[in-house]
Amino acid sequence: DAKTAMRRLPEESGQLRIAMAESLCSSFFPDILEIYHKSYPKVELLISTGGTDDIFHMLRHNEADMVYTLDKRIYSSDLVTALEKEEEVCFVAAPSYSQSGKVFTLEELASYDFILTERNMSYRKHLDELMAARTLEIHPFLELGNVTIIKNLLERGTGISFLPVYAVKSSLENGSLVKLTAFEKPTGVWRQLIYHKNKWVTPQMQSMIDLIKEFENT
């Protein structure tokens, strides 16, 4: 599995700087960080979070070795995509909002209290574009970048949100949250691990790429 498939290089040291979307850091990445540190205890990991524009600014100014982003599929001649995967995003809330499998219009959803990530977060932009296409706008009563806090508030029945499925996977599985089905299906977003084409791929970078690839396949 991913814990045993990594190349074991105990002498590997130095730094690995990764800039990423906050929801990846809080929801998807902790297990990977734990495995990586156990395998390479001498590598210093520096993790920064931010919106897509922020993290690519860091990459292009050599303030990050790699970016791990969640947004529209990104291609550029100066970038190398080490791996990518399409992710589902959905409207999500406590079961009390589901109304026996009701299919909601965007107008109906827009009337609810929303908790959302900040406007510069990738899937928030997708929601704004989805609503704008129907001349609708959502004014959330709360905006914050921490998806874990958003999830906890949703589980208490405090409004609805629009999040990647992986970020609420455990809550959907245990029934504390449910997907709200809309007539207009939201488009997916892409999770991508990217580095600059002029960047020398260090052993620390390669071992992280290898680990995430192995993690995808477990």
The per-residue pLDDT for range 4-46, each reduced to its tens digit, is 445 554 557 789 999 988 777 777 788 899 999 998 999 999 9
Burial class (CB in 10 A: 0-12, 13-18, 19+), 62: exposed
pLDDT band at 130, cuts 50/70/90?
confident
pLDDT at residue 5 in the model:
45
pLDDT at residue 186 in the model:
77
Inter-residue contact 195 to 84 (CB < 8 Å):
no
Query: On the CB side of 56, how many CA atoms lie within 13 Å of its CA?
Result: 18
Radius of gyration of the chain (CA): 19
Would the CA dihedral through 146, 152, 153, 159 be positive or negative? positive
pLDDT at residue 11 in the model:
59
Rounded-to-integer distance, Cα 119 and Cα 138, Å:
11
Q: Is the model's pLDDT at 121 over the cut of 90? A: no
The per-residue pLDDT for range 159-207, each reduced to its tens digit, is 999 998 988 999 999 999 999 999 887 777 898 999 999 999 999 999 9
Share of the chain above pLDDT 90, in %: 54
Burial class (CB in 10 A: 0-12, 13-18, 19+), 146: middle
